[in-house]
Structure 1
């Protein structure tokens, strides 16, 4: 009788121990899977930050900013267009040049508000259209800022913090700034073909 009871007791203990092991294994597996999902989710978020200009859209396009500039300074040619974040605001800066003056206007890209309008006299040697011919850019037939940002990030992964359209010699180009960690890269692209002209790490 006692032997039977002892045998039954041992059997019950073994079943209990096996159940406990099985429960812990399931718990560990569940915990491990949860950890993997969190890591995977974090990894995907790291690839594309919501702060990147690539992922932003604004009520004011750069064409709107250029038109607003030309409405104010019809005698001027556009010499550069830029979009960057400054003091928590996304700002278009449009620069232009006439025969005798250079101008700079700033607009809030999200509200279309005009923030600044400055005029400076050109130096005597630059008047008469000399500097205007050297600096004016043509925006006809160029790629969109979104296309330029996509191309820049395909060359150097990271978040786009600003872009600019400028001219050097006879080439109008995009300069896209990409930030990765603590490093900044400036990528210059032909504005019409998006061929990479230069990639430079900013110290």
Structure 2
């Protein structure tokens, strides 16, 4: 009789203990899931913050665009520069220098912070652009031009916002600055004469 009572009592205690363990395991699993969700949420938050565009206005870099142009010219001495750009690519600030000779067009990319060469490509020109035709139409006149910072300062007086990128290009025999400005969700391009900084146009991108 007492043996039966003892067995029943021990069985009851064991069942209670197993139930308690089960509750603790469930709590541990819940806590683990909550921690994982919090970590994932934090990772997503950081990832989103890294995609925001940095304002180029008044931003300093280890490498200037003239440094990038000089390296480009040393690497490709027979070329003429046709385009210079500073923009943000995959979290890096990148100078893109385009140039052309009589037979080929070239593109080099530089990390503006580390001065590293990120890319150095070239390809043959089409027949219609070869033999000096493209270089005659696209060659930049960099003599006596203003600085990109001066161009950004004037552009921001024309259109308030955050400078996303700038380029130096040529059109209709005129070398000009193109400054891309973000105003909220609206992107505005301000073009300025490279030597006088006269505002040539202000256009909203669709």
Superposition pairs for residues 1-203 of structure 1, below 5 Å? 51-203=54-206
Q: CA deviation at 1:130?
A: 1.2
- 1:159-198 C-alpha deviation (Å, 9 max, x unpaired): 1010000000110000000001111100000000001111
- List gaps (5 residues or longer) in structure 2: 1-52
- 1:58-104 C-alpha deviation (Å, 9 max, x unpaired): 01000000001001100100000000011110000000010000000
- List gaps (5 residues or longer) in structure 1: 1-49
Runs ≥4 residues deviating over 2 A: none
Aligned with 2:128: secondary structure? helix
TM-score (ref. length: structure 2):
0.73
Q: CA deviation at 1:55?
A: 2.7
Counterpart Cα distance in 1 of 2:164 and 2:150: 15
Q: CA deviation at 1:51?
A: 2.6
TM-score (ref. length: structure 1):
0.75
1:22 alignment partner in structure 2 = none
Answer whether contact 2:82 2:170 (CA < 8 A) is retained.
yes
RMSD between superposed Cα atoms in Å: 1.3
Counterpart Cα distance in 2 of 1:155 and 1:128: 40
- 1:13-67 C-alpha deviation (Å, 9 max, x unpaired): xxxxxxxxxxxxxxxxxxxxxxxxxxxxxxxxxxxxx931013100100000000
Answer whether contact 2:58 2:149 (CA < 8 A) is retained.
no
Aligned with 2:93: secondary structure? strand
2:22 alignment partner in structure 1 = none
Counterpart Cα distance in 1 of 2:126 and 2:70: 27
Q: How many residue pairs align between the two structures?
A: 155
